[in-house]
């Protein structure tokens, strides 16, 4: 495939009459033989074609466009676009002007191309040509159908077909038969552009216009050649918006934004041209999607079209910058290389592509039909079977009713045969009938047996089948149910596990709670005074019990002491008891030294028993003498005194301990309250310190104010005002001011104090409330 570079032409228009009037200088020269343009002193550019001020429209067309038109008729796509600043001659060159105001030899490219195309068509009678035209305008990046202004901008969309050709969906494509028809459409489109010019400021110079001729050619039937059926191609004629810079238009605000949008198309086109002109472009991304104009021209710019760019420039030195820029822009386009190919009928290609698909679809359809037939047959068969089954059921029912009748008749006839006196012939007939019936029944029975195997079933075959069918259905339902049940069971299992886990958790939590309660309770008891009190009460109870016992013993002792000649048995018991008490006293005295050691009741009893026993044995050996009783009595009295003393001491210590416990409790509470109040006091002190700092600042301010006023007061002194009454007045004013300031300060202080008091009261009430709450809790 041959690579063809984009052809770039430069056309320099003559100075316009107004430019001549303004005596504007020419800054562009051409070197025709070398196809060079020299702008200014030393900017030289070489292009494919250069056209000077004297070049005619025919010349431009013949050199630049005619080859493209030939290519179009051969099946290639073609694109010509005019680039340049506003007023450089783009529309004039392209032929977008009102043809009524233009002389025949001044007509631009489009009308000439149209004329030539239809001339070509008329010369090729053997080919059927279908020509369509469309005329689109892009203004502020919105599409506008110049051939159908009714079409909304929103209904026009740029799309790409499966072959990568750009299509403007929603645009009107007019099928045309002759050149005049196309010219009139072109004129109406141009008029729409010019209407825009009157409505909007310089609309046409700010919009891109794309006039497209699409041709579809096919050999006539008599000349038809299998190799080349039909060709489709299109020719874009693009009149671009003015390329002047924004600064030159002096647009601001909304106009500036509009200009940005308009120029963004040209900018995008420049980028696409640069990217396409880059020798490494194969790997580079071509930014076609950046603007509508590049999207529309995508299939022509980068792929499959013969392109001519006509750069129009003004020769005026006033337009030097813009002309230079246009030439630079054109210079970049020179590097673009395209690979145009003839566009054979895309429909044929599509049919070729689709053929295997169609074949597949046909096959699928056939198989579908076959399967449908099968299905139909199957359905019919099923219907027949069901109707037969119904018939069979009916017949079976009839058969059973007949058999019942026959059975009954047989019984009756057998009776008749036995009882009634019949004629011999009648009896013979009856007998033969009975035997026949019996034979038939036997046969029926054997048939049934063979049908159902060895077992004789009274149920007919079809009924069994039906029943089995029903059973099968039931089984299926049951199987489904079973599945469901198993699922549900599984779910239930999961739920049960979850509940178990939850219950376990609950148990653990309850245990934990119990433990916590226990520890709390223990903590309550382990408070040293409380524990001690509890121990003391226990001890007191035990002591009371022992004392009461001792007292009982004493009473007995006192009763028996005067009469020592009592029965031996009584004496022995008495002595036993005395010795018992004595031993107790001894034991108690021994233990009394260490009061804090609290003996267990059982231990004590044990000790008492032990001592009692030892004394008992001693008493058994010793004789009852008076000395001994005296000493015993004395020791008892001493012991009693000691006991009462220790009792008193114990009571006192108990009281002290109780007091101590109470004190400790109170102190504990007080400590807690102190901590709380300390925290409160801290916050209050923090607030107070803040206020103090604020007040200090205010004092500082007041001081500075005071010093200023004093200065002001001193100033009149220094200036030695002669006007003494005025000085006095000033001093008075100052005094008044200071008094007012003082009052203000006092008032503020009073307010702050009141606030503080209120705060303190509030805190006090809070503390009281807390105390009440805590006392309630304790209760
Ligand atoms: P553009 O479309 O670039 O804004 P136009 O095509 O409207 O510019 O041209 C501006 C003016 O210059 C028009 O009056 C047009 O007739 C005139 N003009 C442009 N090119 C030529 C030319 N080559 N010869 C004579 N007049 C020209
Ligand atoms: Mg124009």
Name the residue at shortest CA distance from atom 5 of ligand 1: 89
d(CA 287, CA 622): 136
Q: Decide whether any atom of ligand 1 lies within 6 Å of the 460 Cβ.
A: no
pLDDT per residue as tens digits for the range 319-328: 999 999 999 9
Q: What's the confidence (pLDDT) of residue 683?
A: 79
Residue 563 is predicted with a pLDDT of: 40
Q: Which of 96-100, 115-119, 589-593, 713-717 has the lowest mean pLDDT?
A: 589-593
Residue pair 205/84 in contact by the 8 Å Cβ criterion? no
Strands (E), 199-318: 208-219, 230-239, 305-313
Q: What is the pLDDT of residue 114?
A: 95
Q: Is the CB of 611 under 6 A from ligand 1?
A: no
**At which residue do the structure tokens 């070197």 appear?**
31
Q: Distance from the CA of 207 to the center of ligand 2, in angstroms?
A: 9
* Ligand 1 probe mutation, 60, 83, 89, 208, most atoms within 8 A of CB: 89
Query: What's the rounded mean pLDDT across residues 261-279?
Result: 80
Percent of the chain with pLDDT over 90: 24
pLDDT above 90 (res 536) = no
**Block residue for tokens 């002309």:** 323
Ligand nearest to the CA of 190: 2
Identify which of 63-77, 156-170, 396-410 has the greatest average pLDDT: 63-77
**Stronger pLDDT, 721 or 238, i.e. the higher one:** 238
User: In whole angstroms, what is the distance from residue 648 CA to residue 453 CA?
Assistant: 116
Looking at residue 586, its pLDDT comes to 41
What distance in angstroms lies between residue 86's CA and the mean position of ligand 1's atoms?
A: 9
Q: Which atom of ligand 1 is nearest to the CA of 86?
A: 4
Q: Whose CA is nearest to atom 22 of ligand 1?
A: 13
Q: Residue 142 C-alpha to ligand 2 middle, in angstroms?
A: 18
List the Cα angle 377/381/386 in 5-degree steps. Answer: 150
Q: What is the pLDDT of residues 335-353, one digit of tens each?
A: 777 777 777 665 556 666 6
Instruction: Give yes or no for residue 90 CB within 6 A of ligand 1.
Output: yes
Angle at 510 between CA 507 and CA 512, to 5 degrees: 110
* Ligand minimally distant from the alpha carbon of residue 13: 1
Rounded to the nearest whole angstrom, what is the distance from the C-alpha of residue 632 to the centroid of ligand 2? 151
DSSP 345: -
Quick check: 229 and 218 in contact, CB under 8 A?
Answer: yes
- The string of DSSP codes covering 412-423 is HHHHHHHHS---
Question: Mean pLDDT for the chain?
Answer: 77
- What is the DSSP-derived secondary structure letter of residue 244? -
- DSSP state, residue 16: P
Look at residue 583 in the predicted model and tell me its pLDDT. Answer: 40
How crowded is residue 316: how many other Cβ atoms within 10 Å of its Cβ?
22
Distance 114 CA to ligand 2 centre (A): 20
Phi and psi at residue 311, to the nearest 5°: -95, 120
Q: Are strands 77-83 and 230-239 parallel, antiparallel or unpaired?
A: parallel
Confidence category of residue 461, pLDDT binned at 50, 70, 90: low
Ligand 1 nearest-atom number relative to CA 51: 23
> Could you tell me if 114 and 378 are in contact, meaning their C-beta atoms sit under 8 angstroms apart?
no
CA-nearest of 26, 585, 576, 537 to 313 is 26
Report the nearest-CA residue for atom 18 of ligand 1: 89
Pocket-testing residue among 87, 109, 326, ligand 1, by greatest number of atoms within 8 A of Cβ: 87
Cα separation, 31 vs 53, whole angstroms: 13
Beta-bridge mates of residue 12: 313
The span from the CA of 246 to the CA of 321, in Å, is 13
84 lines ligand 1 (CB under 6 A): yes
């Amino acid at each position: 495939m041959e690579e063809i570079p984009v052809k770039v032409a430069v056309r320099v228009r003559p100075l316009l009459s107004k430019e001549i009037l303004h005596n504007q200088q020419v800054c562009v020269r051409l070197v025709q033989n070398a196809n060079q343009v020299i702008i200014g002193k030393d900017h030289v550019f070489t292009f494919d074609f250069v056209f000077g001020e004297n070049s005619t429209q025919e010349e431009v067309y013949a050199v630049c466009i005619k080859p493209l038109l030939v290519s179009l008729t051969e099946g290639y796509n073609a694109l010509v676009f005019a680039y340049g600043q506003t007023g450089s001659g783009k529309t004039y060159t392209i032929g977008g002007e009102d043809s009524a105001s233009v002389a025949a030899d001044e007509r631009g490219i489009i009308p000439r191309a149209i004329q030539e195309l239809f001339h070509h068509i008329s010369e090729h009678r053997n080919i059927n040509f279908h020509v369509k035209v469309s005329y689109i305008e892009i203004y502020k990046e919105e599409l506008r159908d110049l051939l159908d202004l009714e079409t909304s901008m929103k209904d026009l969309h740029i799309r790409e077909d499966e072959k990568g050709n750009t299509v403007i969906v929603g645009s009107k494509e007019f099928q045309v038969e002759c050149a005049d028809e196309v010219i009139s459409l072109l004129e109406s489109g141009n008029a729409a552009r010019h209407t825009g010019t009157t409505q909007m400021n310089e609309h046409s110079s700010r919009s891109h216009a794309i006039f497209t001729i699409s041709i579809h050619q096919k050999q006539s039937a008599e000349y038809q050649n299998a190799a080349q059926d039909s060709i489709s191609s299109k020719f874009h004629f693009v009149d671009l918006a003015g390329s002047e810079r924004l600064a030159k238009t002096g647009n601001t605000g909304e106009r500036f934004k509009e200009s940005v949008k308009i120029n963004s198309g040209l900018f995008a086109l420049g980028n696409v041209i640069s990217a396409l002109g880059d020798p490494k472009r194969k790997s580079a991304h071509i930014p076609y999607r950046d603007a509508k104009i590049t999207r529309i021209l995508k299939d022509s710019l980068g792929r499959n079209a013969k392109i001519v760019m006509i750069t129009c420039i003004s020769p005026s030195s006033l337009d030097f910058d813009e002309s230079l820029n246009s030439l630079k822009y054109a210079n970049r386009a020179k590097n673009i290389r395209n690979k145009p190919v003839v566009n054979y009928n895309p429909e044929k290609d599509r049919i070729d592509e689709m053929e295997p698909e169609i074949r597949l679809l046909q096959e699928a359809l056939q198989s579908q039909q076959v399967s449908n037939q099968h299905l139909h047959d199957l359905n019919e068969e099923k219907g027949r079977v069901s109707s037969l089954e119904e018939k069979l059921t009916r017949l079976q029912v009839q058969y059973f009713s007949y058999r019942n009748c026959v059975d009954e008749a047989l019984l009756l006839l057998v009776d008749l045969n036995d009882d009634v006196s019949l004629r011999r012939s009648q009896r013979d007939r009856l007998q033969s009938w009975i035997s026949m019936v019996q034979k038939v029944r036997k046969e029926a029975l054997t048939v049934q047996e063979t049908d159902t195997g060895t077992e004789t079933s009274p149920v007919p075959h079809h009924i069994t089948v039906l029943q089995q069918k029903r059973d099968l259905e039931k089984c299926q339902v049951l199987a489904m149910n079973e599945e469901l049940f198993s699922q549900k069971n599984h779910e239930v299992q999961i739920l049960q596990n979850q509940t178990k886990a939850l219950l376990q958790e609950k148990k653990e939590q309850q245990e934990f709670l119990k433990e916590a309660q226990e520890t709390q309770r223990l903590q309550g008891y382990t408070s040293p005074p409380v524990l001690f009190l509890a121990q003391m009460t226990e001890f007191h109870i035990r002591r009371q019990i022992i004392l009461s016992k001792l007292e009982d013993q004493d009473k007995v002792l006192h009763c028996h002491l005067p009469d020592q000649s009592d029965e031996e048995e009584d004496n022995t018991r008495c002595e036993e008891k005395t010795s018992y008490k004595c031993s107790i006293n001894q034991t108690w005295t021994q233990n009394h030294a260490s009061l804090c050691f609290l003996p267990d009741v059982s231990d004590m009893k044990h000790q008492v028993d032990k001592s009692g026993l030892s004394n008992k044995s001693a008493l058994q050996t010793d004789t009852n003498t008076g000395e001994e009783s005296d000493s015993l009595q004395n020791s008892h009295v001493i012991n009693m005194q000691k006991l009462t003393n220790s009792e008193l001491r114990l009571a006192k210590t108990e009281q002290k301990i109780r007091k101590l416990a109470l004190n400790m409790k109170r102190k504990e509470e007080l400590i807690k309250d102190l901590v709380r109040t300390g925290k409160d006091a801290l916050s209050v002190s923090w607030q107070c310190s803040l206020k103090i700092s604020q007040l200090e600042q205010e004092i500082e301010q007041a001081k500075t104010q005071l010093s200023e006023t004093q200065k002001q007061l001193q100033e009149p002194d220094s200036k030695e005002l002669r006007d003494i009454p005025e000085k006095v007045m000033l001093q008075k004013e100052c005094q008044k001011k200071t008094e007012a300031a003082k009052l203000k300060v006092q008032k503020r202080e009073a307010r702050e104090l009141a606030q503080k008091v209120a705060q303190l009261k509030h805190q006090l009430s809070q503390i009281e409330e807390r105390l009440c709450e805590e006392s309630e809790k304790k209760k």
